[in-house]
A and B are shown apart, each in its own frame.
Chain A
Amino acid sequence: MAREMMYGEAIAAAIMEEMDRDPNVVFYGQNLAMTERDPFLRKFGKRRVRIAPISETAEMGVAVGAAMTGLRPIVELWMSEFMLVAFDELINEAPRLRYMSGGQVKVPLVFKAGYGFAAGWAGQHSNCVYHTMMGVPGLKIALPSTAADAKGLMAAAIRDDNPVVYLHHYMLTLDKGLVPEGAFVIPFGVAAVKRQGTDVTIVATGWMVKKSLAAAEMLAEQGISAEVIDPRTLTPLDVETILKSVQKTGRLVLVDQATRHASAAAIIAAEMAEHGLKALKAPVKMVTALDTSIPFSEPLESYVLPNEEKIVVAVKSVVTKQAATV
């Protein structure tokens, strides 16, 4: 059975169901469960659902210690940039303690935050900072792009025995989609082919999946068949599914809301350069944010971010005959 719900609701549903399933899951963060009316508080009580002071280092560090000793904390951090306040806990504590202990401890926790808020939040609240977490051994990163994925990846994140950064895209919060009811877990490291196509492979994450699907519609009207793939988790990264698609289409466009050199796109491009070069009929094209901070005013903000038109232009540049001979 599936039910239509919003992306944001789907995340809450997953947390609710997993907390119901496992008494070791606790949920806390700033401005969370402030009144008795809070549904989590009503269902699970003050022991497991807590309001935290504005103390990211303690919030995240306490989660690490709690995870080491048997809980499965979910920390609501609201915005991915707030995690930078506790960079040590994110990069140098949570993912390293298991390894340093020679596998004796595990650190099962979820750092949950929104990102990419392209709605006038300016330079410090709308960036994509996942590049700082990619390639950190011991850490996993999930970026859901649909309501169903939002639920399934949150359930997987909570059940995972490792620290997981779960980044939901603010611009998708109200988007509706069909979401399976009851236990629904999407395994990490399995990309989703969001649209089948034969001429070009587009790889995108988060909000960019929506934009890439819209671009694929526009391209279809012009006779170009685009396949759209969402890796869904950046660590682990499903290189295999992307490679298979590239072997079919021979062309690859990478769409990423992050700045060019700090993007997941750059990592995927490197993997394709090593493993997919023979399949490529044209150079890999990256459609990313421009190398600026995110500006406040709307025309400035739109200018620096990828959009449907930029994706269409990029795809056309690799499917033309000239591109094939580059």
Chain B
Amino acid sequence: MAEKKALTKDQLIWMYTQMARIREFETRVKRTFVEHPGVIRGHTHLGDGAEATIVGALATREKNDLAMPSYRCHGYPLVLGTSPRKMMAEIYGRRDGLCGGFGGSMHLADPEHHFPGTSGIIGQAITHATGAALTAQVKGTGQIVYCFFGDGSTKQGAFFESLNLAAVWKLPIVYILENNHYQAYTHVSLEDANYIAGDPLSKKAEAFSIPGVTVDGTDPLKVYAVVLKAAERARSGKGPSLIEAKFHRLSAHGNAITVPPVPTQFPEHEAVEVYGRKSEFAAAVKNDPIPRFRATLARKGILKPADAKKISEKTQAEMEDAVQFALASPTPAGAEAVKHVYA
């Protein structure tokens, strides 16, 4: 099975392209705070640094499989085929947004593209993803669910209850723990018992007698290999696995919480801003998964510098178009607000 799934040149280039698209999208969201102050309201969370984990995991996906992450949710739908125009318009609160301006950055949903929706409450979406896996099992659709969440979520009852239930019911789901080392603002060393004991966070899987693996989340090929195994296990009816993908996010938890009319900005990453660990953050930046993967593919002769440049230009144009589309989209009429309360 794994042999059959050996990645082709086209797949590798697809993976690199998706990583570049996520990065460019997040960069454009972040730039909006500077270039168009006030356009993005509320709280926005970026996935830069997570690209290798997101793409490495979703590269194992088959046609109808679902992805259900937390509120840090921009990267996944981009990979699944959601329009970046609609995503950016939603983040800007515009009428042409993915959810008509009802959800915003934390609540992207695109069921048509296998992205059922997200919760803004830490850990709760793990239960929803587990429920989606129940649907797949009851209906016998053959789908599996990729459930993504951060290290902070694993301290929630929703995490423990979901993994136990999924193991008992042998649900077709892969739990991907994105250990970016900071639960919002708090470092993992201050709140995780496994970490404090010097153990990987994937040790939590032992509590449910399911496979638990830790992987370098900055390397999409390593992520691909472990997720593929977990996906096969889920697909064959053996139940869930827990994969800890370790990386650093490259932006702060979210934009600074300011009170209107003060416009909001992204602060420095917590490693620097809160803990003063400049060298730790510098190492994370140096270990950026995108240039690393580009270099790997170049070494293998799969991606020539000229091709990489083309991907970069195309991606920049795509996301610039998304920004322009979103800026041009009107805001929804206030009276729309009474729609969608009940089905």
Interface residues of A (CB under 8 A from B): 24, 26, 47-48, 50, 52-53, 55, 57-71, 73, 88-89, 92-93, 97-108, 137-138, 140, 161-162
Given that A101-B109, A138-B342 are contacting pairs, would A61 and B127 also be in contact in the complex, using a CB cutoff of 8 Å?
yes
Quick check: is B83 within 8 A (CB to CB) of the other chain?
Answer: no
A65 touches B128 (CB 8 A): yes
Contacts of A106 in B (CB 8 A): 343
Quick check: is B66 within 8 A (CB to CB) of the other chain?
Answer: yes
Convert B119-136 into 0s and 1s, putting 1 for each residue whose CB lies closer than 8 angstroms to a CB of A: 101001011111111111
Convert B98-112 into 0s and 1s, putting 1 for each residue whose CB lies closer than 8 angstroms to a CB of A: 111111000101110
Convert B304-342 into 0s and 1s, putting 1 for each residue whose CB lies closer than 8 angstroms to a CB of A: 000000000000000000000000000000000001111
A66 contacts which of B107, B126, B134, B342 (Cβ < 8 Å)? B134
Contacts of A140 in B (CB 8 A): 342
Interface residues of B (CB under 8 A from A): 66, 68, 97-103, 107, 109-111, 116-117, 119, 121, 124, 126-139, 157-158, 161-162, 164-165, 168-169, 339-343
A26 touches B138 (CB 8 A): yes
A102 touches B343 (CB 8 A): no
A104 touches B127 (CB 8 A): no
Given that A57-B161, A58-B158, A64-B128 are contacting pairs, would A100 and B343 also be in contact in the complex, using a CB cutoff of 8 Å?
no
List 18 interface pairs A-B (beta carbons < 8 Å), by A numbering: A55-B161, A57-B161, A59-B165, A61-B128, A61-B131, A62-B134, A65-B127, A65-B131, A65-B132, A66-B132, A66-B135, A69-B132, A73-B134, A97-B117, A98-B340, A102-B99, A104-B110, A161-B343
B169 contacts which of A48, A50, A69, A89 (Cβ < 8 Å)? A50
Contacts of B164 in A (CB 8 A): 53, 55, 58
Per CB-CB distance, the 9 closest pairs between chain A and chain B, nearest first, are A61-B127, A65-B131, A65-B128, A102-B99, A58-B161, A161-B343, A101-B109, A55-B161, A102-B100
Complex-state Cα separation, A58 to B97, whole angstroms: 31
Taking A55-B161, A101-B340 as given, write out 12 further A-B residue pairs in contact, using a Cβ cutoff of 8 Å, ordered by the A residue number. A47-B137, A58-B127, A59-B165, A60-B127, A61-B161, A61-B162, A64-B128, A65-B131, A65-B132, A101-B107, A108-B343, A140-B342
Contacts of B165 in A (CB 8 A): 52-53, 55, 58-59, 62
Given that A53-B164, A58-B162 are contacting pairs, would A65 and B121 also be in contact in the complex, using a CB cutoff of 8 Å?
no
Tell me the minimal C-beta distance from A27 to chain B in angstroms.
11
B129 touches A65 (CB 8 A): yes
A69 touches B107 (CB 8 A): no
A57 touches B138 (CB 8 A): no
Complex-state Cα separation, A68 to B134, whole angstroms: 11
A101 touches B127 (CB 8 A): no
Contacts of B98 in A (CB 8 A): 102
Nearest CB in chain B to that of A55: its residue:
B161
A65 touches B116 (CB 8 A): yes
Complex-state Cα separation, A53 to B138, whole angstroms: 18
Contacts of B169 in A (CB 8 A): 50
B124 touches A93 (CB 8 A): yes
Complex-state Cα separation, A61 to B166, whole angstroms: 12
Given that A48-B138, A61-B158, A104-B99 are contacting pairs, would A68 and B121 also be in contact in the complex, using a CB cutoff of 8 Å?
no
Given that A26-B138, A55-B164 are contacting pairs, would A102 and B340 also be in contact in the complex, using a CB cutoff of 8 Å?
yes
Given that A26-B138, A137-B341 are contacting pairs, would A68 and B102 also be in contact in the complex, using a CB cutoff of 8 Å?
no
Contacts of B103 in A (CB 8 A): 100-102
Complex-state Cα separation, A60 to B340, whole angstroms: 22
Complex-state Cα separation, A298 to B259, whole angstroms: 53
Contacts of B130 in A (CB 8 A): 58, 61-62, 65
B158 touches A57 (CB 8 A): yes
A93 contacts which of B99, B100, B121 (Cβ < 8 Å)? B121
A162 contacts which of B66, B131, B157, B343 (Cβ < 8 Å)? B343
Complex-state Cα separation, A66 to B165, whole angstroms: 14
B128 touches A93 (CB 8 A): yes
Given that A105-B111, A106-B343 are contacting pairs, would A62 and B162 also be in contact in the complex, using a CB cutoff of 8 Å?
yes
Contacts of B124 in A (CB 8 A): 57, 61, 88-89, 92-93
A47 contacts which of B102, B138, B339 (Cβ < 8 Å)? B138
